[in-house]
Amino acid sequence: MKTVKTRKTLAILGAVAAAGFISLTLSLKYYADWLWFRNMGYPNVFTTMIGTKVLAFLTFSILFGAFAWINITIARKTGRHTRSIILVNSDQPASTISSLFRDKGSGVVWGAIILFLALIMGLGTVNSWETILRFLHSSPFGITDPIFSKDVGFYVFKLPFYKFLQSWCIYSVSLVLVIVGLSYYFDQSVTVVVQDNRFRILPKARYHLSILGGLLFLAVAWTYRLKLYETLYSTRGVAYGASYTDVHALIPAYWGLLILALVLALALFLAPALHKWRLLAYVVGLYLLAFVALIWIYPNALEQYVVKPNEVTKEAPYIKNNI
């Protein structure tokens, strides 16, 4: 009991000390910046910048913290049935450190880990304050691009924000997937059988990890959706912008991979109910093969054997778009 109380006290003192140090460092830095902006006659610019940074930090820290805590709570509730089992296999690597995550103070340990990761995920968004403000104050240009017929304002104001948000979602789901997997591992809901060289996973743990995997592939599908628009920034052709290969190879490839990612996400969501884990493995294999064929092999082959022999004719419409 004393050990648990001591651990809680040390965790609280450590958190307070870290928060105090960070607050003091940031206060000194931003106070100097505020003095400069005030002397230049732009105090409102400084307060807008700081306000956006603070809002981004708090919003994304809370979002990640809530998402991670909900999933860890589910994982610990699921793993309580195997948590009390005493490991007798010396080859099991989790046996040396699992006690830290299995005793009565383990909730404090997980809370500290989630708090630390939430602060990291929040701080990672602070430097994107300009991207956030551009999105919030976006406006149309009245000019559309020749490939997707999107207003140019979309590429200036909205696309950078969507890319930032998509990247944050990928990192967030990936981190939560890792810590949930570790929770199940320490609770022995996921074990490594050295003799058979394979994993044994509790069904409920498998279902939980499958759902998180589905969320991850939804974010991957969103990645390909945004990559379609990024072809307009391509440097592959003779002129800046979408080239013949981008339009006839990469854009169809991204659509194909987007559909496959959605199918894989759906398969991961439905696998627990249908128990079609082998089918899921086939879909993953198909996705990897399609990625190699559509992103690496086909575009390079098209460039080498179709575009290069008749480059001027093939690229002429796209050079015109650039001009």
Site of tokens 């993953």? 284
The angle subtended at Cα 78 by Cα 74 and Cα 84, nearest 5°, is 130
Convert the pLDDT of each residue in 212-262 to its tens digit: 999 999 999 999 999 999 999 988 777 788 888 999 999 999 999 999 999
Nearest to 280 by CA among 207, 188, 183: 207
Q: Which 3 state secondary structure label does DSSP give 164?
A: helix
Convert the pLDDT of each residue in 93-138 to its tens digit: 445 555 556 666 677 788 889 999 999 999 999 999 999 999 999 9
Nearest to 134 by CA among 103, 170, 160, 169: 160
User: Is the overall model pTM greater than 0.85, yes or no?
Assistant: no
CB 229 within 8 A of CB 155: yes
pLDDT above 90 as % of the chain: 44
Average the pLDDT over 31-41 and give the result: 71
| pLDDT above 60 for 142 | yes
Domain ranges of the chain: 2-233, 234-323
| pLDDT above 90 for 70 | yes
What is the distance between the alpha carbons of residues 246 and 133, in angstroms, rounded to a whole number? 31
Half-sphere exposure of 17 (CA within 13 A, CB side): 6
